[in-house]
């Protein structure tokens, strides 16, 4: 049998500090017109149920302040059965239902799609809403845990909405074309030469990243990529357009292999690019009389004696211009008449540049030895054989000569880029040795001295002195042949003791 509870009249309001909590409680929602003092605490079970029903609030049996004042239950208002019932009702009636759990968390029951959790909060004076997840994928308990985590962030001055946007942007950037292109480049660069790796990255940075760099790679289609490649074609750089598209093709293939892309648009547009021009060799002279005139011009060159010596040595050794420009005295053996081009200078894959066995040996003819001895008083006190024009041999800031110095000297002598390049001396040697040696040297000996890939993998890795006696004979024969071209006299071959 229920007993009617009669609440005593409220005591006079005391403005003192100790009664402020009482005053606030009287004014709070759900307690207007009601007051429970400590002496009524023993009958709170039934009386609070009645009061809560009347005021529209719910109370628990221990919902009291330290002074015995009951508190409204502001958090965790919902239960799983109530949520399910609301969801069922929403689907049946076709209405959207909204249930608050307290603390900013509320449940939205959708009749035509999945129901979901949302969280309202204020930060910096602005009202914001954040989605927590779909129901029932995110349970009531999980939603409450997320709410508490979000409230802690807000208390620390962190805007969870802005933080989420930043995280999404970072995730999207991880799959951007630029990010994956750099990942691909680092993955491949050790298998390329240093120059090729640099040129490949430069093309991407200059011609692709400004237009596609920040786009998710899976969102780039053939038309989008073609527009970028057409920009390169429009300035007449057809070869560069093809090479840039090849690099993009590698990037997309890498993305497909790592599960971040499904199609390769670079492959799709390959057929619609403008035809690439025929690959031409480095410009070089072919007529013996022209080669003879060039050798005379080099001998009479009035510019830097260091550059002149480099141009004199280049046809005798037919190494790559960059290898000659970086030559160091410590690798020149006058007694053995041998120049060792170290692995880190050779044109080869970056992964091989630290392999001490991957050197290239250049036998020095008596003509080459004479040139080196002639320049030794100028640069012998320093590190490099051919010191840069604006540095001093042996100084702390000593630098080697650039390949452009040799090329510029050829231009000053009147040879255009269509006629002769510093790299063209290799082509002259390759062609003229084959035309004039009269089966004296095997093809493999010529290719080895040109530092081209020959032999088995094991031979290439460990036997850098392969065919060395034949190569010594070849280099002296070639030096004598050049002297014959220059002077027009028959030179008796020099016989070297091996």
Contact 329, 380 (CB under 8 A): yes
Contact 94, 106 (CB under 8 A): no
d(CA 262, CA 430): 46
d(CA 102, CA 335): 92
Within 305-352, residue ranges assigned H as helices are 305-317, 321-325
Whether residue 462 lies in the annotated active site: yes
Choosing from 77, 188, 347, 353, the catalytic residue is 347
Contact 291, 425 (CB under 8 A): no
**CA distances to 423, 428, 474 from 299, in Å:** 18, 18, 23
Chain-centroid distance, C-alpha 279 = 30
In the block, which residue shows the tokens 């609301």?
A: 86
CB-based burial, 205-218: b 16+ in 10 Å, e otherwise = eebbbeebbeebbe
Choosing from 24, 152, 366, 462, the catalytic residue is 462
d(CA 108, CA 170): 30
Chain-centroid distance, C-alpha 472 = 45
What phi and psi, each to the nearest 5 degrees, are found at residue 100?
A: -90, 135
Whether residue 464 lies in the annotated active site: no
Choosing from 147, 308, 320, 326, the catalytic residue is 320
Instruction: For residue 63, give both structure tokens.
Output: 């919902």
Contact 362, 387 (CB under 8 A): no
Whether residue 423 lies in the annotated active site: yes
Whether residue 211 lies in the annotated active site: no
First to last CA, the chain: 125
Closest to 164 in 3D by CA, of 181, 182, 146, 177: 146
Whether residue 186 lies in the annotated active site: no
H-helix or E-strand spanning residue 128 = strand 126-135
d(CA 479, CA 317): 9
Contact 5, 50 (CB under 8 A): yes
Instruction: For residue 269, give both structure tokens.
Output: 């547009």
Whether residue 320 lies in the annotated active site: yes
Q: Output the CA angle 122-22-45, nearest 5 degrees.
A: 95
Choosing from 144, 423, 464, 471, the catalytic residue is 423
Active site residues: 320, 347, 423, 426, 452, 462
């Amino acid at each position: 049998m229920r007993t009617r509870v009669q609440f005593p009249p409220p005591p006079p309001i005391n403005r003192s500090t100790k009664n402020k909590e009482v005053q606030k409680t009287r004014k709070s929602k759900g307690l207007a017109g009601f007051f429970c003092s400590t002496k009524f605490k023993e009958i709170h079970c039934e009386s609070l149920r009645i009061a809560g029903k009347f005021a529209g609030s719910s109370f628990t049996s221990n919902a009291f302040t330290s002074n015995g004042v009951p508190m409204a239950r502001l958090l965790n208002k919902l239960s799983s059965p109530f949520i399910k019932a609301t969801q069922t009702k929403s689907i049946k009636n076709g209405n959207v239902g909204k249930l608050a759990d307290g603390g900013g968390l509320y449940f939205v029951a959708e009749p035509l799609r999945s129901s979901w959790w949302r969280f309202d909060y204020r930060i910096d004076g602005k009202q914001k809403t954040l989605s927590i997840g779909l129901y029932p994928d995110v349970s009531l308990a999980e939603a409450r845990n997320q709410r508490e985590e979000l409230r802690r962030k807000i208390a620390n001055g962190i805007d969870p909405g802005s933080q989420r946007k930043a995280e999404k942007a970072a995730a999207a950037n991880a799959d951007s074309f630029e990010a994956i292109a750099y990942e691909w480049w680092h993955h491949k660069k050790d298998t390329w030469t240093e120059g090729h790796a640099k040129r490949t990255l430069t093309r991407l940075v200059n011609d692709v990243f400004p237009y596609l760099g920040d786009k998710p790679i899976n969102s780039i289609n053939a038309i989008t990529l073609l527009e970028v490649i057409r920009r390169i074609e429009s300035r007449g750089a057809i070869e560069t357009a093809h090479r840039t598209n090849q690099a993009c093709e590698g990037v997309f293939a890498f993305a497909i292999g790592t599960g971040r892309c499904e199609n390769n648009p670079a492959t799709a547009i390959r057929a619609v690019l403008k035809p690439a021009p025929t690959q031409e060799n480095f410009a070089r002279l072919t007529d013996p009389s022209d080669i003879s005139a060039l050798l005379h011009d080099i001998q009479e060159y009035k510019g830097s004696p260091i550059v002149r010596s480099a141009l004199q040595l280049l046809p005798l050794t037919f190494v790559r211009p960059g290898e000659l420009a970086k030559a160091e005295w410590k690798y020149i053996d006058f007694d053995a008449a041998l120049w060792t081009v170290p692995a880190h200078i050779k044109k080869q894959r970056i992964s091989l540049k630290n392999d001490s066995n991957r050197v290239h040996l250049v036998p020095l003819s008596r003509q080459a030895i004479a040139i080196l001895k002639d320049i030794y008083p100028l640069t012998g006190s320093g590190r490099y054989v051919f010191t840069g024009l604006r540095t001093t041999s042996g100084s702390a800031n000593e630098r080697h000569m650039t390949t452009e110095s040799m090329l510029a000297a050829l231009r000053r002598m009147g040879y255009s880029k269509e006629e002769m390049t510093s790299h063209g001396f290799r082509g002259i040697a390759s062609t003229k040795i084959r035309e004039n040696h009269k089966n004296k040297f095997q093809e493999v000996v010529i290719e080895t001295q040109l530092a081209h890939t020959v032999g088995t993998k094991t031979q290439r890795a460990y036997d850098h002195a392969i065919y060395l006696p034949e190569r010594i004979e070849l280099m002296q024969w070639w030096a004598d042949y050049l002297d014959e071209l220059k002077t027009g006299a028959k030179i008796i071959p020099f016989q070297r003791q091996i």
